[in-house]
Amino acid sequence: MVRQDTLSRACMLDHPPVAYLLPVPGPDGIADCEVGWDDLGRDAAWTQERLQAHGLAQGHHAVVSFSGHEGAWFQPVIEALRNLGVVYGSVETMGWDHVRTRVFQRELDLHAILGLSGETLEALSGQSMIGDFFGETPVVMARPDGIAKLRDAGVSAAVISTLGPALAIECPERAGAHVNRAEWTVTERDGRLSVTASAERAVGGREFLLETAGTVRADPCACGSDDPRVMFT
Ligand SMILES: [Zn+2]
């Protein structure tokens, strides 16, 4: 059977509603979180708004740094970039792939690099000055473990981070990472964060206690968003 026939037959089959099953570590062990295809579509729409707020637009070049197991969080980022008409590439966010990050940065006239990890930045800092390396890139987003290294080097980076099964993205105000309030309720208990899914998600209404340390700000942000903001500590 040729590939086209195989694909057309596959399209006629029923598709499971669950796209990902995430293991979410918490103080009581690992909880499973189902992520549906519809969830991913709404996550992509929200992420698109967040990236537009940073000025990302058609024709820009971007690199997304994430690991293969992070598809449930970064597939919406990829989808948002596609919808915006941004030309993107991807690199592995573990430190061993820092060379590809360096080559893309040097060769592709990047407007944005999204998802830099502390490991990648540590590896790159052994080869060049981080401030020189990323200082000319208009939009730099890093994980919480890498943000201080960038800001100390004078790079005005914003946070992008997984938060249990949710994704948090800081706006240009750089006053905490926004979490989509239509999908998640974020709370803080004794310095640890928890997220509760909206009824609409595949995992509807369930709360996930996390080991992630941080605080939550619920007051409106100067960017105009009512989405709560997480300060990772
Ligand atoms: Zn904001």
pLDDT for position 183: 98
Q: Residue 10: inside a domain, yes or no?
A: no
Position with higher pLDDT, 151 vs 10: 151
C-alpha of residue 131 to centroid of ligand 1, in Å: 24
Quick one: average pLDDT of 177-202? 96
Tell which residue, 89, 69, 79, has the closest CA to residue 43: 79
Tell which residue, 72, 134, 70, 48, has the closest CA to residue 98: 134
C-alpha of residue 103 to centroid of ligand 1, in Å: 32
C-alpha of residue 176 to centroid of ligand 1, in Å: 7
C-alpha of residue 180 to centroid of ligand 1, in Å: 11
pLDDT for position 2: 66
Indicate the average pLDDT of the chain.
93
Backbone angles phi, psi at 152, to 5 degrees: -65, -30
- The residue segments making up the domain with residue 136 are 17-232
Count how many domains the chain has: 1
C-alpha of residue 135 to centroid of ligand 1, in Å: 22
H-helix or E-strand spanning residue 145: helix 144-152
Q: For strands 184-189 and 192-197, give the pairing.
A: antiparallel
C-alpha of residue 182 to centroid of ligand 1, in Å: 15
DSSP code string of 42-55: HHHHHHHHHHHHTT
pLDDT for position 189: 87
Q: Residue 5: inside a domain, yes or no?
A: no
Cα angle 207, 211, 212 (rounded to 5 degrees) comes to: 95
pLDDT for position 127: 66
Q: Residue 96: inside a domain, yes or no?
A: yes
C-alpha of residue 58 to centroid of ligand 1, in Å: 22
Q: Residue 2: inside a domain, yes or no?
A: no
- Is the per-residue pLDDT at 1 higher than 60? no
Q: Residue 12: inside a domain, yes or no?
A: no
Position with higher pLDDT, 180 vs 191: 180
C-alpha of residue 74 to centroid of ligand 1, in Å: 20
C-alpha of residue 10 to centroid of ligand 1, in Å: 42
Quick one: average pLDDT of 94-109? 88
What's the pLDDT band for 30 if we cut at 50, 70, 90? very high
pLDDT for position 175: 95
pLDDT for position 9: 83
pLDDT for position 126: 72
Q: Residue 55: inside a domain, yes or no?
A: yes
C-alpha of residue 178 to centroid of ligand 1, in Å: 7
**pLDDT tens per residue, range 39-97:** 999 999 999 999 999 999 999 999 999 999 999 999 999 999 999 999 999 999 998 88
Quick one: average pLDDT of 186-204? 95
C-alpha of residue 105 to centroid of ligand 1, in Å: 27
Q: Residue 79: inside a domain, yes or no?
A: yes
- Min mean pLDDT across 35-49, 115-129, 201-215 is at 115-129
Q: Residue 1: inside a domain, yes or no?
A: no
C-alpha of residue 155 to centroid of ligand 1, in Å: 19
- Is the per-residue pLDDT at 206 higher than 90? yes
CATH number at residue 203: 3.40.50.12780
C-alpha of residue 123 to centroid of ligand 1, in Å: 30
